[in-house]
Amino acid sequence: MLRHSICLLACAAVGCTDGISLTDDIDLTWDFTVSRFDADLHTPYVRGAPVTLFVNSSEDDQRFDGWTVESSDAGIFRIDGCTAGQSSLTCEGQAVGEGVAALTVRDERGRSVGNGQAEVLVPDRAVLEAHGYLILGRDAEAPVDDLRIIANGTSTYHVRYFRGARELHGNGVLSAVTPAGITATPRTSFLFENREWLTLDTDATAGTRSIELFADGVAISTHTVETVPETDITHVTIEAQSERGHEDGDSMVALAQAYDGQERRIFGVDFEWDLDGVEQIGDGDLFRYQLKQGVFRMVRARRGSHSDSVQIQAERGSVGSSNNIGCSASSGGGSLLAGLALAGLLTFRRRRQR
């Protein structure tokens, strides 16, 4: 009896009882898989964000019929409903107002079997990151202070929210006010990577303008966007992932980046690509391939009279774009594919946590 009581106290300290865990749908790794989900809540959440909670058990035969998750303050974090699945309990939540709410997992008898804490904050700033550099795994080079975009170009940025030095998590809260000549489209990615994105489209008019970003209706940052003409491009470079340490079949990528005469990056530029002189289908800033050691090819990106090339190890590849962000939607929409994949995700999550 004493041993069982000690076990209950230990589990309560980490938000679980007898192998019960409470986590959310926020994945903080850039792997587009479910293998890095933690048995934890990734708070603070940005106010206004929808958050899906998952209750899992380490027991194979655990049933979740009649189970619930309760919030101590629905004005801070609201639970909109829970659905018992074969291997987990899924609850739809919403970060409603600033503060801290206690979350309690209750079984079919109303007993507390798990707990967590949801903190909600309004951000005071946003950081924009160039998607292409995140794909390369060069996160330190991703932040963009000056949004320099080619005329009639499209460029996509990952949006990170902060309150002071603390990063807030969640998506679906972004809006923007833009001047004539620039169109801003907030987008969200979900399923494996719960992220907020901003896609900017420019017209043919060169010049400097400002856009204002809002999170859940609150103004948080102003960013300068400079639309530049084609003639501003002075050179192009290909930034390729290092192939060292990778194995045959690993997915690799090369990014083409345009620069002006002051070594400033110009975004929204699409390129023509060739592999050993053979033209590749499509225009974009990415070339994706699977590593094939010992098979050396020269891949080249070209924009007008500017080009660069780099040697890779691959049999073939395909042109892509950093404007593609995977399972995504504009203005918070969803997809049937994501819903179907989520059903398999829940089973995988429970198996991994055993």
Report the chain's mean pLDDT, rounded to a whole number.
Answer: 86
Measuring CA to CA, how many Å separate 324 from each of 22, 31, 177, 304, 327?
31, 15, 23, 23, 9
What tokens were used for 40? Answer: 């934890």
CATH class of the domain at 234-268+271-320: mainly beta
**Position 7 pLDDT exceeds 80:** no
Task: Give whole-number Cα distances, 42 to 45, 46, 118, 351, in Å.
Answer: 7, 11, 8, 21
Helix (H, G, I), strand (E, B), or coil: what is residue 30? coil
pLDDT of residue 58: 87
Q: How far apart are CA 187 and CA 202, in angstroms?
A: 17
End-to-end CA, the chain: 24
pLDDT at 27: 72
For 353, phi then psi, to 5°, come to -85, -5
CA dihedral 227, 231, 233, 234 (to 10 degrees): -150
Return the pLDDT at 29.
61
Token pair recorded at residue 120: 């909600």
Tell me the average pLDDT across 177-203: 90
Across 2-6, 272-276, 348-352, the highest mean pLDDT is recorded for: 272-276
- Whether pLDDT at 101 is above 50: yes
- pLDDT surpassing 90 at residue 183: yes
224 or 4: which carries more pLDDT confidence?
224
Domain boundaries, the chain: 2-121, 125-230, 234-268+271-320
**Cβ 23 vs Cβ 118: under 8 Å:** no
Q: Per-residue pLDDT averaged across 217-221, rounded? A: 97
Residue 166 sits at φ, ψ, to 5 deg, of -90, 130
| 24-28, 114-118, 266-270: the lowest-pLDDT one | 24-28
Range in 22-26, 240-244, 324-328 the model is least confident about: 324-328
Confidence of residue 60 (pLDDT cuts 50, 70, 90): confident
CATH architecture for the domain at 125-230: Sandwich (2.60)
* Res 51: pLDDT: 95
Question: Following CA atoms 185, 202, 167, 101 in sequence, which dihedral angle do they give, to the nearest 10 degrees?
Answer: -20
Q: Percentage of residues in the chain with pLDDT exceeding 70?
A: 82
| CATH 2.60.40.1080 given to domain 2-121 | yes
pLDDT band at 347 (very low <50, low <70, confident <90, very high): very low
Fold equal for 2-121 and 234-268+271-320? yes
pLDDT at 86: 84
Banded pLDDT at 332 (limits 50, 70, 90): very low
pLDDT of 10? 34
Torsional sign, CA 12, 14, 20, 26: positive
pTM of the model: 0.85
> Lowest-confidence range among 35-49, 214-228, 253-267?
35-49
Structure confidence at residue 39 as a pLDDT band (50, 70, 90): low
Looking at residue 174, what is its pLDDT?
98
Residue-wise pLDDT tens digits, 280-329: 999 999 999 999 999 999 999 999 999 999 999 999 999 999 999 875 45
Q: Which helix (H) or strand (E) holds 4?
A: helix 2-13
pLDDT of residue 330: 55
Q: Are 113 and 106 in contact (CB under 8 A)?
A: yes
pLDDT value at position 87?
Answer: 86
Q: What is the pLDDT of residue 11?
A: 37
Checking if the pLDDT of 258 tops 90, the result is yes
Asked if pLDDT for residue 17 goes beyond 60, the answer is no
Give the pLDDT score at 345: 42
Is pLDDT of 91 > 50?
Answer: yes
Task: Tell me the C-alpha distance between 312 and 44, whole Å.
Answer: 42
